[in-house]
Amino acid sequence: MTIEQLFAAIAFWRVPLVLLMLAAPWITYLICHTIPGQSEEPAVLSVNLGLSMLSSILWLGYLLYAVNIGGGWQQVVRKDDVGLLLLPPYCFLTSLWIARRRLPLELVPATRMLRGLALISVGLFALFWLLGRIRIFIFYYVPFPVFLGIVLFLVATIYLGFSYLNGRKS
């Protein structure tokens, strides 16, 4: 299955997906309210938050693809369903709010994954941007020890993200 086929399938199954994404956080809330427990509640909240993170990652991928290759924001707004584009942030923010209301976020395993992936993403994007812009004349403006310090800081950020993913807080 290609990316184009995936997004065509999403467009075809629009109505069930919209209903599912609108209802998923609230179904999770009802499950947690009905069956409270120290082992069940973090698992249910984590699955819901993980699925909403996955939908947000697909949403970001689609927006990056559509804006950079598909013709810009005007094409996205004119061609796509704006309501469908607003659902992943709604689902993610609602799931995060519900998880925070039910338990401290440190007890939900998906938040550890969220923090780790966010730190890794920020570190890698900044590192690749910096390394992609390096020219010989950059060292005229930035001393080499300062440049190495910036690179070391970005690598430490990536390591901190990996340690969050592995469950260690260093």
- Report the C-alpha dihedral over residues 32, 100, 90, 66, rounded to 10 degrees: -120
Whether residues 75 and 57 fall in one domain: yes
How many structural domains compose the chain? 2
Task: Convert the pLDDT of each residue in 103-118 to its tens digit.
Answer: 888 888 888 888 888 8
Whether residues 32 and 91 fall in one domain: yes
Whether residues 12 and 33 fall in one domain: yes
Helix axes 14-34, 3-12, angle to 10 degrees: 80
Whether residues 124 and 158 fall in one domain: yes
> What pLDDT, on the 0 to 100 scale, is given for residue 170?
47
User: What range defines the domain where residue 115 resides?
Assistant: 108-170
Predicted TM-score (pTM) above 0.95: no
Whether residues 143 and 62 fall in one domain: no
Task: Convert the pLDDT of each residue in 23-44 to its tens digit.
Answer: 999 999 999 888 877 788 888 8
Task: Convert the pLDDT of each residue in 152-162 to its tens digit.
Answer: 898 888 888 88
Whether residues 99 and 113 fall in one domain: no
Whether residues 45 and 69 fall in one domain: yes
